[in-house]
A and B are shown apart, each in its own frame.
Chain A
Amino acid sequence: MADIIIAGFGGQGVLVLGQMITYSGMIEDKAVSWFPSYGPEQRGGTCNCSVVIADEEIGSPLVTVPTAAIVMNAPSFDRFEPKVGKGGLLIYNSSLINKKSERDDIRAIAVPANEIADELGSARVANMVLLGTFIEATNLIKPESVEKALRAVLSERHHNLIPLNMQALERGRAYQ
């Protein structure tokens, strides 16, 4: 059971990251839901999504007290770091967030996701780096499920990008 918030700038792959977790959960036969913030959003503005993974029927799909939060930019860190429930997990993109969590009742993991993505040759896989950290820290979904989800979600002509995405996932798993 996990109530997850993923947040960042529009264009960072926040919604897709949420969908990858959701899709992977579905592949593992869990109950899953994904709900995006859909205000007057725009590229470069902030956006977030709620993902719920459960063993049984999901009640509210809107996450208010996350058991895990993945934040990709500083405004999202400020907004969601205080909301993570006690004993929860915070994964943040230290390439763009130059601060540390003061809380001692959550586990916080800093991941230089943009730097790692740049090393791999594509800034666009920063979200997959953070997903790697997430799956390793939570054991919620298996890496194989993520690969299956990528195959299902990406159209055939983009399947050549799957190895790069899986590489990013592996790099992220090392940060704990």
Chain B
Amino acid sequence: MAKTLMKGNEALSEAAIRAGLKAFYGYPITPQNEVPAYMAEHLPLRGGVYLQAESEVSAINMVYGAAGAGVRVMTSSSSPGISLKQEGISYIAAAQLPCVIVNVVRNGPGLGGIQPAQGDYFQAVKGGGHGDYHMIVLAPGNVQEMADLTTLGFDLADKWRNPVMILGDGILGQMMEPVEFAENQEPVNVEKPWATTGAVDREPNIVNSLDIIPEKAEKNMQALLAKYEKIKEEEVRWQEDGTEDADVILVGYGTSARVARSAMELARKEGLKVGLFRPITLWPFPEQRLRELAKPGRKFLAVEMSAGQMIEDVRLAVNGVSPVYLSNRLGGMVPTPEDVLTKTRDIVQGRVN
């Protein structure tokens, strides 16, 4: 198929439908409204159900139900709406159900504003709801990846029976770029013998997150944690550029990684040895690779649209071997390449501690 110009929100919606999406449940909020709009227009004509729920809480519980019935299902929202979904996400993670949840992040906390931000990092990668659980968190860096990582997200969700979050932001959702979809892409069909599809000629399947006997609950938790360890072994993804001989490695995901890329190009023009490390999976975080890259004399600069959240995972990864600095903007302000360049120069010239 030829390239077409699409908004990130539209591209991920089209990718989801091509991945065999059977149900979308949502509730409107800026800056992700193009997702439900696209679904409302296209999904019913292509064999799926589109439903606007009466609230985010309702939408995520509809996702819980559809995932339990074994169909590919998705919801989408933006920061305050994602907060409302946290209880349901915890239930879905506990019940080990596959689904894709899109968060087109806007600035918070609270009702905040509608401009792009990355302040939901902790919520996405550390749990967000109650209990010990993880989502697989994918961070697209352009409109093509909004589509490609959504496709991947459905496959990973089914493979691991785990909720997957696509963590975008207002820029990635609203911006248009060329995007290409594979010809004749067939959705990967995964057997789901655990699904509640009607107990005809078999024992009933029960999908539940209730675990009231501590001895059994602990065993179930250990099984869940063992699954997370395997996901960490198999699913870590990242991209790096010019890291081999870099004195400073910029670390950023999503829109911040794009700003960092521009800053890296400016820095190289000045003769500075600067590289870029872009995590694509935020959970599991590419900690092992960052640990390998850390060495005395090399410095890291986390670029964020949050108050210093991802930087904690970078610091845990490099474990004191290299210093890690922060360049960030808040409140829906987007860092400029010049901001990041200035900080990079300060680091190279030893003007920051």
Contacts and interface: CB of A to CB of B under 8 A. Distances in A.
Contact of B176 (A33, A39, A64): A33
A22 B5 CA distance: 8
B259 A60 contact: yes
Nearest to B31: A38
A39 B114 CA distance: 7
A61 B258 contact: yes
A23 interface: yes
B258 A38 contact: no
A19 interface: yes
A38 B336 contact: no
A32 B5 CA distance: 9
A33 B337 contact: no
B178 A32 contact: yes
A57 B261 contact: yes
Nearest to A34: B176
Contact of B175 (A39, A61, A64): A61
Given A26-B5, A39-B114, A59 B337 contact: yes
Interface in A15-65: 19, 22-23, 26, 32-36, 38-40, 57-62, 64
Interface string B233-275: 0000000000000000000000100111111010000000000
B78 to A, nearest CB: 12
Contacts of A38: 30-31, 114, 170, 174
Interface residues of A, number: 19
Contacts of B263: 59
A62 B255 CA distance: 10
B177 A60 contact: no
A38 B172 CA distance: 12
Contacts of A26: 3, 5, 178
Contacts of A22: 5, 176
A33 B259 contact: no
B25 to A, nearest CB: 24
17 contacts: A19-B176, A26-B3, A33-B176, A34-B175, A34-B176, A35-B175, A36-B175, A40-B114, A58-B177, A58-B258, A59-B260, A59-B263, A60-B337, A61-B255, A62-B259, A62-B336, A64-B336
Given A32-B178, A62-B336, 5 more contacts: A32-B177, A59-B265, A60-B262, A61-B171, A64-B338
